[in-house]
Structure 1
Amino acid sequence: VTAISGSNVSLQISNLSTNYEQLTWLYSAHQKILEWEFNKTNLFKSKFKNRVSLSGNQALSIFNVQKEDSSTYILRVLKESGKEEEWHISLEVFDPVPQPNIEIQKKQEVNNICHLQLSCKIPDQSITYTWYGNSRALAAGPQSFMLEITVNSENHSTSYTCEVSNPVSSKNDTVYFTLPCQLGKKYSWGWEGGHRVDEVKKDVGIL
């Protein structure tokens, strides 16, 4: 299960039987969150105490999840027969990615050939970078925050976009070139948790 920080999540086991005497949700093997027994739910002292509840289908609901809540949760069930069963369900919580900003590290024109070095590094290890030239993917990966290209008037792109993303959000920044080495405008937008983020346009001048 993946979730964006600040949202509410429900951890549920689909094939859970009903013939049990006790049910326990744990954050880790040694930290209990809550326990159900004799139709009564007991909340243990933990960081979850005011942020969890047990639903009618015995799903664990967690409110206002944070990155620190990421873990492999355990559901431990004691059946009427005395047999104990255990399920594991993983939760990963991500913060929305920040707005990237393309910086021109190098822009050099020699004999009508333009050498460009663009960067948009974000201080987050869980981010994937994807570079586009005229909407065509040029490079991608967790360390691809730098784009180095050599272009001329025949093969240059009129725009270069840096997209930063994680499993729950994506944002990008675009620079436009009127000529291979002549900068025009910038344009930024993105999404968080399935919702469009407001667009931002700005003139950056001609370099």
Structure 2
Amino acid sequence: MLGQVLAFTLLLLTKGHQGQGSADHVVGISGEPVWLRPTSLQTNIYSAKWKIQPYSNSSNCFTWSWSNNSGRIEVRETLGQTPNCFNKSLNFTNKDFTLLIKAAQPQDSGLYILEFTTPSGKVQEHKFQVSIFDRVEKPNLVEKWKVLDGGICQVTLSCSVTRGGDVSYAWYRGSNLIQIPGNQTELVDKVDVNGLHLYTCNVSNPVSWASHSLQLTQGCQSDQDFTFLFILVSIMILLVALFLGTLTCFYVWRRKRKQSRKCRVPRCVA
């Protein structure tokens, strides 16, 4: 359990340069807790408060405020008093001013600012740039074929996912990465109609990845293959027609022969 917690913490916190004008970059998984723990804070702090600016909202949300007024500590929760401010389940620790998002969601992504003042009135900030991502689901991979000359076919592969947020796409032929410009959801390649080809689409975001592979075998046939198949089917149809025709003629001949035998008795004579 401890190993999982440490692994998750290392994944969650990707620290950037700290300072007055920079922010720590925090990456989280949807549905998992996210801790925003400031470091290198002064010990002599008069007041502190958390401000949240979601990507979906330009206004700040004030969630927790703390003050040490004449030795009396006061903590107030003000979440939801700002119009259009999201309502989340948050916890605040006044010992080290850590803010906990219990079950983070992609809409919780944004800028989180811990603002604190010293007894002299100096204001400082500690910023966190928070990005929450869904886990990437297995992508849907679709193939289309086009016949070219010389036993070559053009295959078009389309890769898509419905969850995962801002994702990156990578294409592989076998175990080799295909170098294509940009972040392409579609791959166009030329293959030998008689060959076996394994293609893989890998989709990833900063917290997870998923892939889908297709073994391309008989997806494309040449014009000669189609001609041979057409002739073969035509011959089979002709043979079946000849068999049915012969069987019908034999049935009619046999029926007429029986009638002819019946007519030879005396009662058949006028």
Q: What is the TM-score when the length of structure 1 is the normalising length?
A: 0.76
How far the C-alpha of 1:50 sits from its partner, in A, is 3.1
Contact 2:31 2:103 survives alignment (8 Å): yes
Measured in 2, the distance between the counterparts of 1:140 and 1:43 equals 51
Residue 151 of structure 1 corresponds to 191
The reply on whether 1:9 has 2:34 as its aligned counterpart is yes
Residue 73 of structure 1 corresponds to 112
Is there any run of 5+ residues in structure 2 with no aligned partner, and where?
1-25, 54-58, 81-85, 222-270
Change (3 A) 1:49 1:177: closer
Residue 24 of structure 1 corresponds to 49
Contact 1:78 1:85 survives alignment (8 Å): yes
Residue 103 of structure 2 corresponds to 64
Deviations 1:8-54 (A, max 9, x none): 11112211111001110110363211111233321113234533322
Change (3 A) 1:62 1:82: same
Residue 193 of structure 1 corresponds to none
Change (3 A) 1:106 1:40: farther
Matched to 1:81, the amino acid is S
The reply on whether 1:128 has 2:168 as its aligned counterpart is yes
Contact 2:66 2:94 survives alignment (8 Å): no
Residue 18 of structure 2 corresponds to none
Change (3 A) 1:159 1:55: farther
Measured in 1, the distance between the counterparts of 2:109 and 2:133 equals 9
Q: What secondary structure is seen at the aligned counterpart in 1 of 2:147?
A: strand
Query: Which structure has more helix as a fraction of its residues?
Result: 2
Measured in 1, the distance between the counterparts of 2:138 and 2:110 equals 27
| Number of residue pairs the alignment of both structures matches | 181
Q: What secondary structure is seen at the aligned counterpart in 2 of 1:56?
A: coil
**From 14, 33, 42, the counterpart of 2:63:** 33
Say what the alpha-carbon RMSD is for the aligned residues. Answer: 2.6
Q: What secondary structure is seen at the aligned counterpart in 1 of 2:166?
A: coil
The reply on whether 1:43 has 2:48 as its aligned counterpart is no
Matched to 2:32, the amino acid is S
Percent identical pairs in the alignment equals 29
Q: What secondary structure is seen at the aligned counterpart in 2 of 1:68?
A: helix
Change (3 A) 1:98 1:16: same
How far the C-alpha of 1:109 sits from its partner, in A, is 5.8
Is there any run of 5+ residues in structure 1 with no aligned partner, and where?
183-207
How far the C-alpha of 1:68 sits from its partner, in A, is 1.1
How far the C-alpha of 1:162 sits from its partner, in A, is 0.5
Contact 2:137 2:162 survives alignment (8 Å): no
Matched to 1:31, the amino acid is C
Measured in 1, the distance between the counterparts of 2:196 and 2:177 equals 12
Deviations 1:104-160 (A, max 9, x none): 122536432121111112356611111100111114676411110012279x66310
How far the C-alpha of 1:163 sits from its partner, in A, is 0.8
Q: What secondary structure is seen at the aligned counterpart in 1 of 2:46?
A: strand
